């Protein structure tokens, strides 16, 4: 396993841009220090867990479907549990916890590119592979936002399960892409699923989850 330093911007730059896009309209409603800290903790945690995960899969080699389910279950559970433990810490529990979830999720997914993407070729296939880290950022941030909202709303178990199953589906797709032999149409099919999930996650988080979860008690009473 090689850590491709040239691919670090492929994860870090989109992660920072996504974070700015998501939290920009909530400026003044969260503690910037906590958001930055959540991003840094997420980055360190993602780097640590991704390095462990990459040693347990063999990219480019075929593995059985049963093993894919077991690996996806294991990765999803460990990742969501780790996110929950961090976001449930007292210093991140306030009215802006969903924002810290977005920050942590973006930071967590930033190291994905240099660890899981071995190379990016200058062709259509390479361009397709280069989009995966960006989609992972969107999808990972979504699951972290789900967990954070559950913590804020007192629905920890329910939202943890949502995030777990969502991550489970994403990992199955990623493992199929990285570990099975496929043709161009097969890759396009899997990527189209990731694109759909990424678009849904971004829209749902930006337009539905965060606006409602960031409302104060008085604002909620006015709506209800």
Q: Which structural domain range is residue 164 located in? A: 5-216
Say if 168 falls within a structural domain: yes
Q: Give residue-wise pLDDT tens across range 9-52.
A: 667 888 988 888 888 888 888 888 999 999 999 999 999 999 99
Provide the terminal-to-terminal Cα distance of the chain, rounded to the nearest Å.
Answer: 54
Cα angle 167, 42, 109 (rounded to 5 degrees) comes to 50
Q: Give residue-wise pLDDT tens across range 204-224.
A: 998 889 888 876 655 545 544
- pTM of this structure: 0.88
Q: What is the DSSP letter of 154?
A: T
Say if 61 falls within a structural domain: yes
Cα angle 176, 181, 183 (rounded to 5 degrees) comes to 100
pLDDT at residue 67, as a whole number: 86
Percentage of residues in the chain having pLDDT higher than 90: 47
Q: Are 170 and 108 in contact (CB under 8 A)?
A: no
Q: Are 205 and 145 in contact (CB under 8 A)?
A: yes
Q: Are 16 and 79 in contact (CB under 8 A)?
A: no
pLDDT at residue 1, as a whole number: 42
Say if 222 falls within a structural domain: no
Reported confidence tier of residue 78, pLDDT bands at 50, 70, 90: very high
Q: How many domains does the chain have?
A: 1
């Amino acid at each position: 396993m090689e850590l491709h330093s040239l691919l670090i911007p492929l994860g870090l730059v989109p992660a920072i841009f996504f974070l700015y896009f998501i939290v920009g309209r909530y400026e003044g409603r969260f503690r910037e220090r906590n958001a930055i800290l959540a991003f840094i903790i997420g980055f360190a945690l993602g780097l640590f867990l991704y390095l462990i995960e990459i040693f347990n899969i063999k990219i480019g080699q075929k593995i059985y479907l049963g093993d894919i389910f077991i690996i996806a279950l294991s990765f999803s559970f460990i990742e969501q549990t780790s996110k929950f433990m961090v976001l449930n810490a007292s210093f991140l529990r306030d009215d802006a916890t969903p924002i810290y979830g977005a920050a942590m999720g973006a930071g967590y997914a930033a190291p994905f590119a240099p660890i899981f993407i071995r190379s990016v070729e200058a062709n259509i296939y390479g361009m397709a592979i280069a989009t995966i880290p960006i989609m992972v950022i969107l999808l990972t941030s979504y699951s972290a936002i789900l967990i954070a909202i559950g913590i804020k709303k007192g629905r920890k178990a329910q939202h943890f399960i949502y995030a777990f199953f969502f991550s489970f589906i994403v990992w199955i797709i990623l493992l199929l892409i990285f570990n099975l032999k496929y043709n161009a149409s097969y890759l396009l099919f899997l990527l189209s699923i990731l694109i759909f999930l990424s678009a849904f996650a971004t829209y749902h988080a930006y337009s539905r989850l965060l606006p409602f979860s960031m409302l104060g008690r008085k604002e909620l009473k006015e709506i209800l």
